[in-house]
């Protein structure tokens, strides 16, 4: 089943990615646009460690790619609109 992962770090703070659950690591591909003839460097991948964060009686899947305080993570949860992990998956 797919759930929403809140991304923190690697230039993607507050973004949401839908992916299969459960995961311990999340790889996020970044699409880049460049001029023709510049060669093919491939799609850069960004690695995130997945953690479960409890807030207001719900559990959220948070993919962390940098150091962040608990309060900062809570602020991203509240401002992003990320959906919690459904209870039946926990």
Q: pLDDT digit string (tens) for 15-35? A: 999 999 998 888 887 644 455
User: What is the number of domains present in the chain?
Assistant: 1
Question: How many CA atoms does the CB half-sphere of 38 hold within 13 Å?
Answer: 7
Supply the pLDDT for residue 44. 74
Does residue 22 have a cis peptide bond before it, meaning omega lies within 30 degrees of 0? yes
Quick one: average pLDDT of 79-89? 96
Domain that holds residue 62: 2-32+41-89
Pair of tokens at residue 46: 């960004």
Q: 29 by DSSP, 3-state: which? A: strand
Binning the chain into helix, strand and coil, the percentages to the nearest 5 are: 15, 40, 45
pLDDT-based confidence at residue 38 (cuts at 50, 70, 90)? low
Widest pairwise Cα distance in the chain: 52
pTM equals 0.84
Average pLDDT over residues 33-38: 54
């Amino acid at each position: 089943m797919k759930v929403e992962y809140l991304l923190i770090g690697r230039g993607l703070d507050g973004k949401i990615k839908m992916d299969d659950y459960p995961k311990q690591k999340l790889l996020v591909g970044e699409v880049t646009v460049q001029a023709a003839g510049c060669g093919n460097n491939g799609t850069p991948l960004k690695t995130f460690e997945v953690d479960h964060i409890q807030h207001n009686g719900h559990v959220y899947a948070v993919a962390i790619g940098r150091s962040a305080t608990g309060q900062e993570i809570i602020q991203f949860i509240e401002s992003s609109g990320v959906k919690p992990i459904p209870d039946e998956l926990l």
